[in-house]
């Protein structure tokens, strides 16, 4: 999926990230500014609730470039963190 500023495009569908005060993704909006997905994470970045079904690897620390790897680790650049 091609990256956009604060989001990505898949086919004709774009999604944009909504951040909280510390840079964690709390949801996604589409081109019409409609909320399509929401996330609730605990203090350690583990997802405890969500709505929507869009695949989103950008959750905890998303504003700083953290990506949730399929292994469950957080990736920042070339490094992985538990």
Q: What is the pLDDT of residue 62?
A: 85
The answer to whether 19 touches 31, Cβ cutoff 8 Å, is no
The torsion angle over the Cα atoms of residues 39, 45, 15 and 63, rounded to 10 degrees, is 140
Over residues 64-79, the pLDDT tens digits come to 888 888 888 888 888 8
User: What mean pLDDT is predicted for residues 46-67?
Assistant: 88
How many domains does the structure of the chain reveal? Answer: 1
For residue 70, give its domain range: 3-81
């Amino acid at each position: 999926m091609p990256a956009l500023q604060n989001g990505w495009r898949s086919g004709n569908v774009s999604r944009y990230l909504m951040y909280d005060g510390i840079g964690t993704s709390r949801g996604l909006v589409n081109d019409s500014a409609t909320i399509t997905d929401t996330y609730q994470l605990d203090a350690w970045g583990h997802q405890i609730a969500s709505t929507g079904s869009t695949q989103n690897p950008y959750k905890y620390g998303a504003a700083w470039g953290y990506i949730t790897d399929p292994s469950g680790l957080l990736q920042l650049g070339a490094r992985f963190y538990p």
